[in-house]
Each structure stands twice: as structure tokens, then as C-alpha cells.
Amino acid sequence: MLQVRELTAGYGDLRVLHGVDLEVEEGEVVALIGANGAGKTTLLRTVAGLHPAGAGTVTFAGEDVTRRPAATVARAGLRLVPSDRRLFPRMTVRENLLLGAHPHRPDPGDLRRVTSLFPRLAERWGQLAGTLSGGEQQMVAVGRALLGRPRLLVLDEPTTGLAPQLATELYASLASLREQTGITVLVAEQQLPRVLALAQRGVVLERGQVRYQGTSEQLRDDPEVRRAYLGVG
């Protein structure tokens, strides 16, 4: 579904990604793990066409999308939910959701699926997005992406700023989404346990390079990974 090869990217003279290789197979959930500043956001934004690639290639659903505009990549079925959510605060929950719909008129079945996944949103249908809690805003951002019927859902640190209880709820919803639809997901996180429970595989990014890759079990059992990302071992 997604193949990233030798990808580099940066900001002016600052090189942030130093030749990253990453793959996501259809139907897989892959965790992208890294500390603050490792380059996760830069990688996801570059893959989505929101940040310019230096060298290397990004292939999505068999098509070379390197340096394609973000709108083209989104149309091909890759939807990025940014960690800052990017909702329209003065629009309602419903209006924000509909902005993600494909092709601009949502299927009522799609809307029902989003509200059954996030029942809280049905209760807050007419509320302005700017007045929602952080967790509820994250649900809207994920729901909006789902209404675009993505082939690959890309989540950038979806639990940023959420209380532990809401973060747990969000991951439970993602797990049931996965169970119901088999959707392919790439999700960046700093916190290991929750994301590895959802993902089959993890890729650890350190200073813009892939440091380890493995199944979730392998990563959970790796002493260095445990020390670095769980603070134990």
C-alpha cells in the first residue's frame, strides 16, 4: 500500500530525515515510534505531500506520489489526521465532518458508521468544534478523515493533549474500527504500550533514521526499545 524509499526532507539547511525506508502492507496497522523531534511529523507530512521531499521516493497504491500535491495524494486515498487536528472552530461538529466527505456528499451509512464509532459526536452534532474537549476534537478529526473513505489512514500522535482515559477510549475506538473494516493504518506515537496493542508492526525512528523495525512483540521484548520508550529494563 505504501512504500517509502531512502526519503530525505528538512527545513532549509536543516536535514531532518536521513534516508528513511518504510512499508505498510494493505490491511496492516503500523506504529511509527519516536521521541520528540525524531522526525515523525516531517515524515508523515512528506508522505502526504504536505512537505517537500528531498531525495527518495514515496509510492502509494502502486503510484509514485513523490512531490505530488497533497490534494492528489488525498484523492488517491491517503488521509492524514494531523496532531493539531486542524478543525474549523466556528463550524459545528457536523459541518467539520462533512468537509471530509467524499465526493462532497456523504453517504448516510458513512455518517452512521462514524457516530457509532464515536457516540459522543452524535450528542454534540450542532456544537461548535472550538468548544469541544481535546478528545472530542480528535474524534471529529478522525471521523472527518474516515468520511473520505481512505485506503490508508495516517494518524499523527492522536493522543497528544488527551487525558489518559480519553486516550484509552480513542484507542478502543480505533481497535473497533479496525475490527469492523480492516482499514490500513499508519500511526505515530511516543507512547509504546497503547499503540503496540493496536499495531501488528512497529518502526522506531531516531534522529530521522529508522533504528529498529519488528513485530509488536519483538519491539515490546527488545531491551533497548523498552529502556528508551518504556523507561524500563
- Tell me which residues touch ligand ATP (CB under 6 A): 11, 14, 16, 34, 36-42, 190
Q: How far is CA 188 from CA 36, 42, 129, in A?
A: 11, 11, 24
Cβ proximity to ligand ATP: between 13 and 179 the closer is 13
Which amino acid is it at 117? Answer: L
Least distance (Å) from ligand ATP to the CB of residue 39? 4
For residue 216, which of 208, 206, 226 has the smallest C-alpha distance? 226
Contact 130, 162 (CB under 8 A): no
Cβ proximity to ligand ATP: between 38 and 117 the closer is 38
SS3 21: strand
Cβ proximity to ligand ATP: between 37 and 164 the closer is 37
What's the DSSP call for residue 105? S
Cβ proximity to ligand ATP: between 36 and 165 the closer is 36
* Cβ burial 130-161 (10 Å sphere, 16+ → b, else e): eebeebbbbbbbbbbbbbbbbbbbbbbbbbbe
Least distance (Å) from ligand ATP to the CB of residue 123? 31
Query: In 124-163, where does DSSP find H-type helix?
Result: 134-147
What's the DSSP call for residue 131? G
Least distance (Å) from ligand ATP to the CB of residue 187? 13
Cβ proximity to ligand ATP: between 16 and 140 the closer is 16
